[in-house]
Structure 1
Amino acid sequence: MTTTTRVMAGRYRVDDLIGRGGMAHVHRGYDLTLGREVAIKILDRELARDTAFRTRFRMEAQAASRMSHPSIVRVFDAGEDTTPEAGGSPAEPVPFIVMELVPGELLKDVIARGPVPAADAVRYADGILEALEYSHRAGVVHRDIKPGNVKITPAGTVKVMDFGIARAVSDSSSTVAETTQIIGTAAYFSPEQAKGEQVDARTDLYSTGVVLYEMLAGRQPFRGESPVAVAYQHVSETPLPPSEVRDEEHPERELERIRALEPIVLRAMAKDPFQRFPDAASFRTALDEAATGVVPTKKQLSSLTSELYGPSPRHAQETARTLRQLSSDTTMTRTQSGPPVAWVWAGVALLVVLLASVLIWVLAIKPTTDVPGAGRTVPNVAGQTYDAAVALLQKNDLRAIRIDQADAGVDKGKVISTDPAAGSNMDKGQSVTVYVSSGAAEISVPPLEGLSASAAKDALSKAGLQLGSVTQKNDPRSSHDTVLSASAAAGSKVAPGTVVDLVVASGVVTVNDLTGWPLDSATQALQQLGLTANPVENPGCKATDPKTVASMSVPPGDVPVQSTIDLGYCTGK
């Protein structure tokens, strides 16, 4: 791999290339300020030319940096670097992210070796869902869950990365084709992503279901010659059960484990978000229950497939824009057989009639701002206490689901926002997610006293804090570089990124000129400095009473702690 001495933002040294994707390349790096290894993701210049993308990218990176969880790759920093292009072209700002450097291999490399054993597949999927459970509570939807964004450590644990990047990409792209070109694959798209609709946490659950499917089957559920072709199948096709597409023969016990997981995979990959698991915790619970090995019958599996995937008027629900996006690519091919051509034309004709009918109906009705009798409008409860918000929602026949979220800009206990947003129309009795501020995010300062300076730096870094100034101080009881005190007490709560100053032992003490001192006084002075006095007789000079120091084995000044110093005194006649 190619190495380089490039330094970004005057702080991060860019070293070997360790990965490359459709929208960025990742280098091993080194933080020259904190003295630690990091991973640096540098975005492609084509993306960097979009000002809107750079703004969205910076905001999403900041949101990702606030998440701290063992199953999520930490984001330490994000910024822009300006370096001239080859050939002397004008310099352009290039966004970059500084992340935790995680050892191990990508899940996509694990899958490339063949189907993953069911037990490992469940463990990896559970790790992904654990990360999503945390991020969804924090209000962050990943949008690009795929094996290339999942790291498996040497210990077998899961680390999910690239939170927020997919949203920055999708918000800066006008079509499905552009988005898939940037992200590099549509194999893990949810139907609502493929149709350009609004997405929520259930999109991540669909993508996780696709990843679990691929681990069990050894290949993705849908394949085609272009991203649009694959996206079309996510919208309209029914996936085969993983046990029916495995190319290799496996012990019957392993196949039973796979069949026990198939209802979960099919549920997670339901076209309708409301038929999927409601949240990551429910998905994880279902995986735990499947570990018992209860295998559904073919009839049960067929019934579930029919319930989730059809028959239903699938195409009537798609918007005209979706059809234009999905049909503009003439290279698409299906992995399953499609309907006869006559049926296609009949469907198109039916759609035209439906659209014409809707248009006539819209023109005929009178505009009104009234909410239907069975409908309810979400009230604006931002800034109110949770109890007040619940009361107002109940007054509107709506239920509240509380989620606490750190927010330095909103007082603790006050409502930050709701989902759906205020003013949205809902059916009577539906639930509204109420995000309540838990105050500014706080981090507990780790114990630092007694550690070496380098160990203290690592402890601060792992806690999400920054090392500030390091001041040396003479201390007779401490070896060189030992932390004597810190600007923040151990156990105290501080904001993420707080700078902590350290006072460390210099490893030396200052010794005065002791010649001419009484030997006893000089010995006591050295003992107070933690030094050892070694009286040495000198018969070459006339003895004194009391005994007086005539010479020292070291000159006055700094000496290492716990040293021994010879004190010469006269014993001659």
Structure 2
Amino acid sequence: MQEWLLPGTVLRNRYEILGLIGQGGMGAVYQAADRRLPGRRCALKEIWPLPGTSAERMAQTRQQFLREASTLARLDHPNLPKVSDFFTLSPSGLPGDDTGADSEPLPPAQEPDPQATTARDLAAVSRDYLVMDYVAGQDLEQLCQQAYREGRFLPEPDVLGWMAQLCDALSYLHCQQPPVLHRDVKPANVKLTPEGRIKLVDFGLVKALDPDDPATMTGLRGMGSLPYTPIEQYAGELGHTDTRSDLYGLGATLYHLLTGQTPPSAQQRFLDQDALLAPREINPAISPQVERAILAALALHPRD
């Protein structure tokens, strides 16, 4: 039975599920209350194995998850939500597969939205969890949609201020040893807090660049969102991605915010060189230097 966790469910005698924030093919995100720290709200990301994954591959993926979660837990930057905990819970009947103190079998769950097509049978496999700060506020995609409904563009100075903060976060990630890639930079994954701070959220596709272990984070990674994904990332595990891959997502995000239009995918552009309209053709208020920066970030080939 395909299921999500019910509000009121408590994990590890600590995290009480308040509700479902979102879901996708790789997992779900819940808002939860931390019972050990009254008043604290956190985002709890549940990561699902890919359908058809073998038991051997799942075991490898779990070890990769634990290594990468340890990396995320060490990150500390004002434009990134802090990862405070991570753990694995096994389903009933699989004792000894839990990771972390106070682990317990999976709790009861709820039926998903009947329209959803991306859930999987959660009762048959273990589940991995990341616990991070809950970030209040709107994401930049919502702000862009609001501006579109009002018949206006987002002001360039505002957008550039947000992007400066986002660049700080990406620079911090890319300067880690080994560098950490986000791999899914897009407006929906960038939130603006009520205090005006930008937060880069959703580490579901994060990857640590380890030359000795090219398969790191296989279980957490996917291809990303096509309009914001460079062509080298389409190959999944076989593709070579580096810090420039996040810069493509940054450029696509900036294009979307200033034009109000989702950019065509890299695949579309590879097949049709005229698919991408110059930003100033859509919004003449964009400054020429910003347009040049956007187009440079959206180069199809990383070396460009």
TM > 0.5 fold call = yes
Aligned length: 252
Match of 1:147 among 164, 180, 187: 187
1:59 has 2:67 as partner:
yes
1:40 has 2:75 as partner:
no
CA distance in 1, matches of 2:216, 2:122: 28
Give SS of 2:227's match: coil
- Aligned residue for 1:96? 129
Contact 1:61–1:78 (CA under 8 A) maintained in structure 2: yes
Match of 2:16 among 13, 37, 51: 13
Give SS of 2:134's match: coil
1:136 has 2:182 as partner:
no
CA distance in 2, matches of 1:77, 1:90: 23
Give SS of 1:148's match: helix
Match of 1:30 among 30, 33, 36: 33
The CA deviation string for residues 240-268 of structure 1, in whole angstroms up to 9 with x for no partner, is 2112235xxxxxxxx34344411010111
Match of 2:282 among 245, 254, 260: 245
1:43 maps to amino acid: I
2:158 maps to amino acid: D
The CA deviation string for residues 507-563 of structure 1, in whole angstroms up to 9 with x for no partner, is xxxxxxxxxxxxxxxxxxxxxxxxxxxxxxxxxxxxxxxxxxxxxxxxxxxxxxxxx
C-alpha displacement of 1:34: 3.3
C-alpha displacement of 1:60: 1.7
1:116 has 2:154 as partner:
yes
- Aligned residue for 1:214? 256
Note the residue ranges of structure 1 that are not aligned, 5 or more in a row: 223-229, 247-254, 276-573
So what's the TM-score if we normalise by structure 1?
0.40
CA distance in 2, matches of 1:153, 1:47: 35
C-alpha displacement of 1:135: 0.8
Mapping of residues 384-403 of structure 1, within 5 Å: none
So what's the TM-score if we normalise by structure 2?
0.73
2:37 maps to amino acid: L
Contact 1:43–1:95 (CA under 8 A) maintained in structure 2: yes
Contact 2:229–2:249 (CA under 8 A) maintained in structure 1: yes
C-alpha displacement of 1:15: 1.1
- Aligned residue for 1:428? none
- Aligned residue for 2:290? 261
CA distance in 1, matches of 2:296, 2:181: 20
C-alpha displacement of 1:193: 1.1
Indicate the percent of aligned positions where both proteins have the same amino acid: 31
Give SS of 1:145's match: coil
C-alpha displacement of 1:234: 4.8
CA separation of 1:48 and 1:64: change in aligned 2, threshold 3 A = farther
CA separation of 1:140 and 1:91: change in aligned 2, threshold 3 A = same
1:27 maps to amino acid: Y
C-alpha displacement of 1:45: 5.6
CA distance in 2, matches of 1:61, 1:69: 16
Mapping of residues 143-292 of structure 1, within 5 Å: 143-163=183-203, 165-167=205-207, 172=218, 179-180=222-223, 183=224, 185-195=225-235, 196-222=238-264, 230-235=265-270, 237-238=272-273, 239-246=276-283, 255-275=284-304
C-alpha displacement of 1:19: 2.8
CA distance in 2, matches of 1:104, 1:116: 17
CA distance in 1, matches of 2:25, 2:294: 27
Contact 1:47–1:53 (CA under 8 A) maintained in structure 2: no
CA separation of 1:44 and 1:108: change in aligned 2, threshold 3 A = farther
The CA deviation string for residues 276-308 of structure 1, in whole angstroms up to 9 with x for no partner, is xxxxxxxxxxxxxxxxxxxxxxxxxxxxxxxxx
Contact 2:29–2:44 (CA under 8 A) maintained in structure 1: yes
Mapping of residues 449-460 of structure 1, within 5 Å: none
CA distance in 1, matches of 2:191, 2:159: 13
CA separation of 1:53 and 1:106: change in aligned 2, threshold 3 A = farther
CA separation of 1:237 and 1:85: change in aligned 2, threshold 3 A = farther
2:302 maps to amino acid: P
The CA deviation string for residues 293-329 of structure 1, in whole angstroms up to 9 with x for no partner, is xxxxxxxxxxxxxxxxxxxxxxxxxxxxxxxxxxxxx
C-alpha displacement of 1:7: 1.1
The CA deviation string for residues 181-213 of structure 1, in whole angstroms up to 9 with x for no partner, is xx4x31111122124431111111111000000
2:257 maps to amino acid: M
CA separation of 1:52 and 1:106: change in aligned 2, threshold 3 A = farther
- Aligned residue for 2:139? 106
Q: Greater relative contact order (Cα 8 A, min sep 6): structure 1 or 2?
A: 2
CA separation of 1:89 and 1:21: change in aligned 2, threshold 3 A = closer
Rg (Cα) greater in structure: 1
Contact 2:6–2:108 (CA under 8 A) maintained in structure 1: no
C-alpha displacement of 1:179: 3.5
Contact 2:193–2:199 (CA under 8 A) maintained in structure 1: yes
Contact 2:9–2:108 (CA under 8 A) maintained in structure 1: no
Tell me which protein shows more strand as a share of its residues. Answer: 1
CA separation of 1:237 and 1:206: change in aligned 2, threshold 3 A = farther
CA separation of 1:77 and 1:7: change in aligned 2, threshold 3 A = same
